[in-house]
Amino acid sequence: MSVSSIQSGYQIVDMSSKMAEDAAAEIQRQQQMQSMPKDNSYQFNQVEFKAPLPSASEIESLTKLSSAERYSQIGTNVIQRDQEMIGSLLDIHI
């Protein structure tokens, strides 16, 4: 019976990829909603000094992207450790 952590490492990387895709799609939808033209024809020279605060959904999407990055790093580390372990086992057997 073979015990390997490669499968779980790939599952973690796959999960992080899906999380990143979902968060990126969410951010894209939000950007499209914000870029819709408004009918403010006469307010072209109005100056706003306040920067718009990010909405809760934008913060949530960025948090998802950050989590996806961390999971990707974890999955990659699991796979690398497994490869190192296999390499050291091969050295012992030779």
In a domain, 9, yes or no: yes
Give the chain's domain count.
1
Give the residue numbers spanning the domain of 86.
Answer: 1-18+58-94
Q: Residue 37 has what DSSP assignment?
A: -
Residue 1: per-residue pLDDT = 43
For residue 28, is it within any domain? Answer: no
Residue 11 resides in a domain = yes
**By the 8 A CB rule, do 64 and 19 touch?**
yes
DSSP 8-state assignment for residue 42:
T
pLDDT < 70 stretches in the chain: 1-4, 35-45, 49, 51, 89-94
pLDDT at 69: 93
Task: Report pLDDT for 45.
Answer: 67
In a domain, 14, yes or no: yes
Q: Give the global pTM.
A: 0.65
pLDDT value of position 3: 62
According to the model, what pLDDT value does residue 77 have? 93
